[in-house]
Amino acid sequence: MAEATPSLAPARALAREAALAHGVPTTRQERWKYTALRALAARRFEAPAARVDVDLKVVADIPAPRLVIANGRYAPALSDLHGLAEGLRVRLLSEVLREAPAEAAAWLAVDTTATDAAFQQWNGALADEGFVLEVEPGVRVATPLHLVVIGVEDGADRAFHLRHRIVLGAGATLTVAKHHLGAGAHRHLLNTVLQVELGDDATLTQARVQREVDGATLIQRTQATLGANAHYRRLDLELGGALSRHELDVVLAGDGAQLDANGVLLADGRRHLDTRLGIEHRARDTRCELTWRGLGAQRGRAVFHGGILIAEGADGSNATLSNKNLLLDDGAEIDTQPVLVIHADDVQAAHGATVGRLDDTALFYLRARGVPLAEATAMLTAAFLREPLAVLANEALESALAATLDARLASAAAARE
């Protein structure tokens, strides 16, 4: 871990004291009602090792420009910065901690009064690496930047605390694909916070693909603030891990700000996937459209909370949430909770959530034409889960992620046979 400097020490100490005082969240707390952490709280984790060896094949299918962190440490041998655009500044959190500790202290500040936010508080106390991306005003970055975080088996259970930051100046554009990968049968804990700030008229397109190994635990929080007429497009594919929790909190702070946030939760095996959205319309004529699809198979569990708040004065806001889910097996479970709170006039808002089985008519149609049951199920499931991918408005990226999703569905189908 980077050594604390005087300007960092007070913020670090306050965050650590808060985390110790509040402890690991429990199911008695509303925000964690469906995700029990007793087993996690009983475990002990070691700090990241100084270095870890990773085969280049792990990232061979991820194009440049590419930045890689393996087991909490920057991996220059796996990274490839060819094609990095001018006007896009890339730093590591470790660099900022060394060279601009006061700047880092402002980023790492956390709410120490929150009794259910120990992971964010530990992140503020311990984060020592992460990606810091800044795009200058008016710069339009055409080539997607790939950020890769790899958990690697190295003989111990380790905890990594990463803090990422993406800032776009007025009128800037950027596309980012973030990959969570696993190498070896590890049981690490990854605790991540991402801060996003979009200036007026800026556009950020972000895809996050979580395909960690079955033993991994991921606790992640995204905090985004959008300026006037800013546009945040986002796709989350939750495909791996033993337990994965993601809190996506977005504030539409400027008039005309827009959010399109879609996702897929693929809970098979004994996987537990928990996603919690908190979207706040704080300005006039803002818009959000949220399309999420979930699948429960074997003994997997998916939890989804879609919270939308339209604040007083946010007149003209338009908010839509759709969460549809498929249960393939009786042992699987899906819990969905859409919440819509409106304090403004002249708004359009709608939300809906369903949990059901595959369409019997469609299944019968395919079977009657000679399609085997397993193949027919796979075809209908893939069509159902691909819908959210269109949010990216990037054909090449969408095609690549569709292939990743299809491959993951094939492995899930094979496990059920």
In this structure, the number of other CB atoms found within 10 A of the CB of residue 187 comes to 17
Q: Which regions of 51-144 does DSSP assign to beta strands (E)?
A: 66-70, 73-74, 88-92, 131-135
pTM of the predicted structure, to 2 decimals? 0.94
Pick the closest to residue 237 from 179, 305, 320, 189 (CA basis). 179
* Cα separations in angstroms, 264 against 315, 351, 379, 383, 387: 31, 17, 16, 12, 9
Identify which has the larger pLDDT, 3 or 195. 195
3-state secondary structure of 323: strand
Residue 81 has pLDDT above 50, yes or no: yes
What pLDDT does 1 receive? 47
Over residues 272-306, the pLDDT tens digits come to: 999 999 999 999 999 999 999 999 999 999 999 99
* Pair 357, 327: CB distance under 8 Å: yes
- The pLDDT-based confidence of 377 (bands split at 50, 70, 90) is confident
Condensed to tens digits (0 to 9), the pLDDT of residues 139-195 reads: 999 999 999 999 999 999 999 999 999 999 999 999 999 999 999 999 999 999 999
Q: How confident is the model at residue 73 (pLDDT cuts 50, 70, 90)?
A: very high
What single string gives the DSSP state of each residue in 252-297? E-STT-EEEEEEEEEE-TT-EEEEEEEEEE-STT-EEEEEEEEEE-
Residue 100 pLDDT greater than 80, yes or no:
yes
pLDDT of residue 385: 94
> 364 falls in which pLDDT band (50, 70, 90)?
low
User: What share of the chain in percent tops pLDDT 90?
Assistant: 84
Confidence (pLDDT) at 4: 47
Residue 242's closest CA among 193, 188, 163, 293? 188
Percentage of the chain exceeding pLDDT 70: 98
Task: List strand residue ranges (DSSP E) for 169-216, in order.
Answer: 173-183, 189-198, 203-211
Tell me the pLDDT of the chain averaged across its residues.
94
Omega of the bond leading into 25 within 30 degrees of 0 (cis): no
Q: With 80 as the cut, is the pLDDT of residue 374 above it?
A: no
